[in-house]
């Protein structure tokens, strides 16, 4: 994948086509602003040495967007106020992911330290949705796009008509909304808002990364993944199933993937969000079944119209 320039905006491709654990970065020439430093460590070091980095902006708090932030410890950091807490403390970060199991928490702790160079950071200042920032001849609209995370941001660069979407990445996998504070409904609302922005070019954080003259069909296919996941889940609930049984169907990822600790957690996180959404809409019920051992009580999920008449708690 090649680096692309759109006026003063530089699209810096991430390693492995920007697939996790990497992302694509954006550099604003002249202003010296680097957005999401997790693309290519050597290229980022080169940009700093040759062109200068005066500030780092983060579109949101996830690790695959701050992986090389350690290169810029002396550079002012900006992020939305709503997404700042996980950067300040590793335990807060794990809480925001919803990692509760002790064994899983130890795995994720090492993962964040070793793979992503996590070091506590406090922002120099905050980026706020709705504000407009002038950088010489370049105008930047900061756009609040919650759902992926509470404080996810997109950036519209007016003069070249380029919109950086961050992790609303228009990939075939679809949106991520599996964190403790993520929201499917907010994700849908944000996608509706973003697709109405009159952008000539879309830049995203992963995979394809650059979309010129984007079509309505591209947006529709990405949003459709949400309904497709929900449809698969509802088909799977033709009989009562526990959460573990549902997770083991791999409705999100299609098959078991390695490392299992990572991917099974992600599968569970996304499926749980869909179950909660269907419960709130009264389409899925939770049935509690008592076992011989009272500590082994299980919750089963089933479609509301197939409820067996047992004790339910929607």
* pLDDT greater than 60 at residue 293: no
Do 125 and 263 lie in one domain? The reply is no
- Residue 135 makes CB contacts below 8 A (sequence gap 6+) with 28, 30, 31, 33
Do 209 and 178 lie in one domain? The reply is yes
* pLDDT greater than 90 at residue 143: yes
* Phi, psi of 121, rounded to the nearest 5 degrees: -135, 145
Do 73 and 206 lie in one domain? The reply is yes
Do 199 and 260 lie in one domain? The reply is no
- Asked whether residue 36 is domain-assigned, the answer is yes
Owning domain of residue 78: 4-214
- Asked whether residue 225 is domain-assigned, the answer is no
- Supply the CATH number for residue 150's domain: 3.60.15.10
Which helix (H) or strand (E) covers residue 138, if one does? strand 138-144
| Structural domains counted in the chain | 2
Do 210 and 235 lie in one domain? The reply is no
Lowest mean pLDDT of 247-256, 291-300, 302-311, name the range: 291-300
- Residue 115 makes CB contacts below 8 A (sequence gap 6+) with 21, 63, 67
What's the rounded mean pLDDT across residues 181-210?
A: 98
Q: What is the pTM of this model?
A: 0.93
pLDDT, tens digit, 9 for 90 and up, residues 41-57: 999 999 999 999 999 99
- Supply the CATH number for residue 258's domain: 1.10.10.10
- Domain end (from 167, 182, 214): 214
- Domain end (from 214, 248, 269): 214
Which helix (H) or strand (E) covers residue 192, if one does? helix 184-195
- Asked whether residue 266 is domain-assigned, the answer is yes
């Amino acid at each position: 994948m090649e680096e692309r320039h759109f006026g003063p905006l530089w699209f810096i491709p991430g390693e492995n086509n920007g697939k996790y654990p990497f992302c694509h970065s954006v550099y604003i020439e002249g202003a010296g602003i680097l957005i999401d430093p997790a693309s290519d460590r050597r290229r980022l070091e080169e940009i700093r040495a040759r062109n200068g980095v005066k500030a780092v902006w983060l579109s949101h708090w996830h690790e695959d967007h701050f992986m090389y932030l350690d290169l810029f410890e002396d550079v002012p950091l900006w992020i939305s106020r709503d997404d700042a807490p996980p950067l300040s403390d590793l335990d807060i970060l794990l809480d925001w992911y919803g990692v509760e199991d002790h064994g899983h928490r130890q795995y994720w702790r090492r993962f964040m330290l070793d793979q992503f160079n996590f070091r506590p950071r406090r922002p120099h200042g905050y980026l706020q949705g709705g504000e407009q920032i002038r950088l010489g001849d370049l105008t930047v609209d900061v756009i609040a796009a919650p759902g992926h995370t509470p404080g996810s941001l997109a950036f519209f660069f007016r003069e070249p008509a380029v919109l950086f979407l961050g992790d609303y990445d228009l990939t075939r996998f679809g949106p991520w909304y599996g964190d403790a504070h993520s929201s499917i409904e907010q994700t849908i609302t944000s996608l509706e808002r973003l697709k109405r922005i009159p952008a000539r070019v879309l830049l995203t954080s992963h995979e394809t990364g650059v979309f010129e003259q984007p079509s309505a069909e591209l947006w529709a296919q990405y949003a459709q993944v949400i309904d497709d996941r929900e449809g698969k889940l509802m088909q799977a609930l033709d009989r009562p199933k526990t959460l573990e049984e549902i997770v083991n169907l791999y409705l999100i990822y299609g098959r078991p993937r390695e490392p299992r600790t990572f991917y099974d957690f992600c599968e569970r996180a996304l499926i749980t969000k869909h179950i909660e959404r269907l419960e709130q809409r009264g389409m899925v019920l939770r049935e509690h079944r008592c076992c011989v051992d009272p500590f082994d009580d299980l919750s089963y999920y089933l479609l509301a119209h197939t409820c067996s008449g047992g004790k339910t708690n929607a």
